[in-house]
C-alpha cells in the first residue's frame, strides 16, 4: 500500500491543495496527516490564516474520508488542553477557531484524530515513538511484532493529553542518542515535528518536516509493504530514494 504523508502544515493551507493534486494524479491508497496544522512564527498573528487552514483541512478530510489517517501534533493538543500549553507561537485568540476546525475535521473524517497509528509495518506519529517513553512492556514471548506495535499504539492513543507533555512523548520527541527511536520488531517510523531541509533518516525513524522557509517542500510517499520511500516536490515530480 502506498501512503502519501502530509507533514507539518503550520498555517500553510495551500499544502492541502497541493496534496489533493498529488492524489488526483497518482491515486495513492491512503493519506496520513502528521499534525501541526496551526501556529507559525511567520503567519501566527493572522487569525484569517487559522480560518483558511482549518477550512482547507476540513475539506480535504471530507474528500478523502475513508482513505485518511489524521494525527494530532503538539500544537493542536495545546489548543485542546491550554493549561498545559508548551508550544511556541501559540495564539490564545485562535482557540475557538482551532477547536471548531478540529471538530469539523473529525466530523468529516467520521472518526477520531489519533496520536499514533500503524499501517502494515510502518508506525506513524507526529514526533516519533522513542524508546525512552513509558509504555507497558511488550511480552517477550509474543512472536508477532505487529501485536506489540498495536499494544504500544493503543496505549499512546489512550493516554491523557497532559501525560503526553514529556520530551520523549510521540508529540514532542526530538531524535537524540540518549533515547533512540523505538525499533521493536524492525518497524519503520515516519514523523514530522523536527524541521529538516530534506527528509532525514535517523535509525528506524524518517523525519519529513520540510515545509518551512528554506526547506525542500517535499511530500513523502511510503510503500508500507516494501518499505520503499520516495518524495514528490511542488511541481509533482517524483524523486526516488529507495
The four Cα atoms 179, 90, 234, 223 give a dihedral, to 10 degrees, of 40
30: domain CATH number? 3.60.21.10
Number of domains in the chain: 1
The string of pLDDT tens digits covering residues 77-93 is 999 998 888 888 999 99
pLDDT at residue 142, as a whole number: 62
Q: How far apart are CA 227 and CA 106, in angstroms?
A: 29
pLDDT at residue 227, as a whole number: 93
- Residue 191, beta-bridge partner list: 207
pTM score, whole prediction = 0.95
Q: How far apart are CA 180 and CA 157, in angstroms?
A: 21
Q: Which structural domain range is residue 69 located in?
A: 2-240
Residue ranges, the chain, pLDDT below 70: 134-143, 241-242
Q: How far apart are CA 77 and CA 129, in angstroms?
A: 17
Query: Cα-atom radius of gyration of the chain, to the nearest Å?
Result: 17
Other beta carbons within 10 angstroms of residue 74's beta carbon come to: 22
pLDDT at residue 137, as a whole number: 63
Q: What is the mean pLDDT of the chain?
A: 93
- Nearest to 68, CA basis, from 4, 12, 150, 124: 4
Amino acid at each position: 500500500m502506498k501512503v502519501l504523508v502530509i507533514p507539518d502544515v503550520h498555517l500553510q493551507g495551500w499544502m492541502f491543495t497541493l496534496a489533493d493534486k498529488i492524489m488526483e494524479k497518482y491515486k495513492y491508497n491512503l493519506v496520513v496527516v502528521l499534525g501541526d496544522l496551526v501556529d507559525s512564527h511567520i503567519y501566527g498573528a493572522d487569525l484569517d490564516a487559522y480560518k483558511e487552514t482549518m477550512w482547507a483541512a476540513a475539506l480535504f478530510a471530507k474528500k478523502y474520508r475513508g482513505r485518511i489517517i489524521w494525527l494530532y501534533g503538539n500544537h493542536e493538543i495545546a489548543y485542546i488542553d491550554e493549561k498545559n500549553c508548551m508550544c511556541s507561537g501559540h495564539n490564545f485568540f485562535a482557540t475557538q477557531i482551532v477547536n471548531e476546525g478540529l471538530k469539523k475535521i473529525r466530523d468529516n473524517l467520521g472518526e477520531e484524530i489519533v496520536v499514533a497509528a500503524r499501517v502494515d509495518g510502518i508506525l506513524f506519529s507526529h514526533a516519533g515513538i522513542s524508546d525512552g517513553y513509558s509504555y507497558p512492556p511488550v511480552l517477550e514471548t509474543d512472536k508477532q511484532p505487529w501485536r506489540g506495535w498495536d499494544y504500544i499504539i493503543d496505549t499512546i492513543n489512550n493516554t491523557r493529553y497532559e501525560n503526553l507533555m514529556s520530551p520523549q512523548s510521540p508529540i514532542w520527541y526530538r531524535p537524540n542518542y540518549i533515547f533512540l527511536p523505538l525499533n521493536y520488531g524492525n518497524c519503520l517510523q515516519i514523523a514530522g515535528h523536527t524541521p529538516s531541509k530534506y527528509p532525514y533518516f535517523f535509525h528506524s525513524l524518517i523525519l519529513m518536516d520540510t515545509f518551512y522557509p528554506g526547506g525542500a517542500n517535499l511530500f513523502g510517499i511510503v510503500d508500507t509493504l516494501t518499505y520503499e520511500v520516495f518524495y514528490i516536490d511542488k511541481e509533482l515530480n517524483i524523486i526516488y530514494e529507495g
